[in-house]
Amino acid sequence: MAKPVVSETQRRRRRPTRQGTVLSESMIIHTAMRVLREHGSTGLTARRLGTALGADPSTLYRYFEGMDDLVRAIGAELMGNALENWRPRGQWRNDLHSLGSAIHRAYLAEPHAAVLTASRVTGRPREIAVDETILGILRTAGFSDETAAGIYHAFIDLALAFAALDAGALALTDEARAADEAMWKSTYARLPAEEFPHISATARLLADRMPYSAYPVVLDTLLDRAAAQLNSGRRQREQTP
């Protein structure tokens, strides 16, 4: 049974850790992210986190309902980081493009945390703020609620899917990642044209492109489709007597 989560005021009254630090939810989240950087996406444990904090591992349960709750908090932190480093300019397409790019960058800045959290829904304030911002951009631009919800779904899933994919590559060892990238030249480029004519014809192009994320291209495709939907809706309204 999970132990009760105490209020922030009660937490401040507790004694400092062995390192002389008074804990907070934010400190635990950032320490957990450091543990992930050092030990990978499978290396975050209550014992290891307690050691990093200089506190008993059970201290975690005064701030979070459990490790899964902490994982969701880390995901919300990454989302919040994206919003902190983003500023709207008042043009819906550019704003969504820059926000999507900010989300992608925020997750790639912490690849092990991204691998662990990209598929999670946190329900926390920092994540909610991002969702409200995206939907606000779409509804203010003139999209119907139904269309806005559909574009939001595609937009956020696209950002997080590529965040997980690209962070997964960054989370590999340098040697493993280099070996994967070299495969396009060491294997694909050497496939016989008689048996694999299409790969052979594009092998050089693939070798140049595949080490890089396709997210910007796919994001542009999504926003182009959204712009077409918006323009079509406007034309239909103008033609309606």
- DSSP sequence for 7-38: PHHHHHTSPP-TTS----HHHHHHHHHHHHHH
Does residue 12 surpass a pLDDT of 50? no
Does residue 3 surpass a pLDDT of 80? no
pTM for this model (two decimals): 0.86
Q: What is the pLDDT of residue 221?
A: 98
Compute the distance between CA of residue 114 and CA of residue 136 in angstroms, rounded to an integer: 25
Alpha helices in the chain (DSSP H): 8-12, 25-39, 46-53, 67-84, 92-108, 111-117, 125-141, 145-170, 174-186, 197-209, 215-239
Compute the distance between CA of residue 118 and CA of residue 109 in angstroms, rounded to an integer: 13
What are the chain's domains?
Answer: 8-65 (1.10.10.60), 89-171+211-239 (1.10.357.10)
Q: How confident is the model at residue 4 (pLDDT cuts 50, 70, 90)?
A: low
139-170 burial code (b ≥16 CB/10 A, e <16):
bebebeeebbeebbeebbebbbebbbebbbee
Does residue 191 surpass a pLDDT of 80? yes
Q: How confident is the model at residue 236 (pLDDT cuts 50, 70, 90)?
A: confident
Per residue in 126-161, pLDDT (tens digit) is 999 999 999 999 999 999 999 999 999 999 999 999
Tokens representing residue 58 in the block: 């059970």
Per residue in 46-105, pLDDT (tens digit) is 999 999 999 999 888 899 999 999 999 999 999 999 999 899 999 999 999 999 999 999
